[in-house]
Chain A
């Protein structure tokens, strides 16, 4: 997958979106932020549905917008495949008609229609009208339609939000499958960390129209002072680990990262594979001495790298470094004080669980 470089210096009128960033889209660039942070505005600027009052936008070396040189490439010439929150299927066309609309206007290499239909499970829906589809089905058709237009850049605006709760996991799997098999540079807007960690490698965090973090997801997730990744039960770290061995007897996979070892349940990958492991902050406990006679198998040696306490909350967030990777732990403030933790201290991190980010 070739990284796609977005250079954006954008200013948008009364709602001030001010971004001046280089965004490498190597696979999926996640855009995270609360309501009104400017996530959708950013996508609309990229798609050319909105033009900034001033600024410059360059994608993959091609200028799409430059207020000084008077360049504003219209949307239909940008070759962006956009999936809107509300699908926006053409109501007068069947599912097949919607896909054909996109395919006939595709300006890139022909997209294998069968593969798109198979990947998104659309075969049985082809003759249906959009009005007869469920929310999740509409999003799948919208995604297929965007793919059929042979885009250079895929823009996804909270594609899960229109799907029923129980169906989001399935839709996320479809998305993962699509991104994996079509290898398109993608900008993905979402507001849950779980979606992000599943898909994105690079994370941009917006707040009030400004960029507050931009970097590899492993690094951004570790920022204690960033409420977007610190609040809520999904806060946690992603580490990249290598499969060392399988234990068929106990059905475990042993992994290494840096000088640390870790095992996860189930037999994953083959030795030598790189896997992404998600470790929630609430699943990490800290001990100042190596615990004995304990059921938890994953005990890592770590150093305390930072502590963030909010006197209003019962919890404290602790950032650890283990095997060169940042890991977050959430303790009660009471425990923090009892253990007397301080920055630079060597501790043991006990992982109650570590889950694989399927990759």
Chain B
């Protein structure tokens, strides 16, 4: 009886792909939320925060319907690729992105809002175009926001269970992630496998967090207090 390396690798892959895609998506969204003065920005903010309060099974249920071949996104996806979304890795990535949206967006929004207009105005008077200002001022000044967003998204995706169960099922190599494998091991009273999976995930999570917070401390030391 070995460790389920396939489930572990799939989980890490899911978390990594989700984190990467979500940071790309959340950047413009968080920027808009941090700077928009439109009244309906509050509505968008509320929608983004929904996954924080909804039970994962509720979200999973709606996503299942939405991803279905006759659902909104599912039919679009089928027309584009000829394949389904439910019970696939791609579907799992999309669902994880929805599920972790607030965890990526909120730290970035706070980081962007914290920079304030003054620094960017100074950049503009020095001849920096908007894209230049974003790359050379906003990104480096939001490093800690990205770090937090990345860690939270990654960790949140590692621990995902309800949503996966609803839309992913339990297909080895495709959707069978650690939390699902662990659940199955416990269900079948295979406590040995459960221990090994849980132990590896615990150790891995701890090491990742240790690295991140160590890095965070070094960053804050270099930037000085309050930044």
Contacts and interface: CB of A to CB of B under 8 A. Distances in A.
A90 interface: yes
Interface stretch (B47-55, B136-144, B187-195, B197-205): B136-144
Given A106-B127, A129-B224, A84 B141 contact: no
B225 A131 contact: yes
A101 B132 CA distance: 11
6 contacts: A49-B121, A88-B119, A88-B121, A92-B141, A102-B127, A131-B227
Nearest to B129: A76
A88 B118 contact: yes
Given A49-B124, A74-B124, A131 B224 contact: yes
Contacts of B224: 91, 129, 131-132
A92 B227 CA distance: 9
**Interface of chain A, main secondary structure:** loop
A217 interface: no
Contacts of A90: 119, 122-123, 137, 141
Given A91-B141, A92-B140, A75 B121 contact: yes
Given A91-B141, A131-B225, A105 B118 contact: no
Contacts of A101: 123, 126, 128, 136
Nearest to B125: A82
B127 A105 contact: yes
A75 B124 contact: yes
A47 interface: yes
Task: Label chain B's interface by main secondary structure.
Answer: helix
B24 interface: no
Interface string A194-205: 000000000000
Contact of B124 (A76, A107, A155): A76
Contact of A102 (B126, B129, B137): B126
B202 to A, nearest CB: 35
A105 B225 CA distance: 29
Contacts of A145: 126
B159 to A, nearest CB: 33
A354 to B, nearest CB: 39
A303 B119 CA distance: 54
Interface string A92-118: 100000000110011100000000000
Contacts of B207: none
A75 B121 CA distance: 8
Contact of A92 (B127, B129, B223): B223
A135 to B, nearest CB: 15
Nearest to B117: A49
A284 B127 CA distance: 49
Interface string A126-156: 0001011000000000000110010000010
Given A92-B223, A131-B225, 19 more contacts: A48-B124, A49-B121, A74-B124, A76-B126, A77-B127, A81-B126, A82-B125, A84-B121, A89-B122, A90-B119, A91-B119, A91-B227, A92-B227, A101-B126, A101-B128, A129-B224, A149-B125, A149-B126, A149-B127
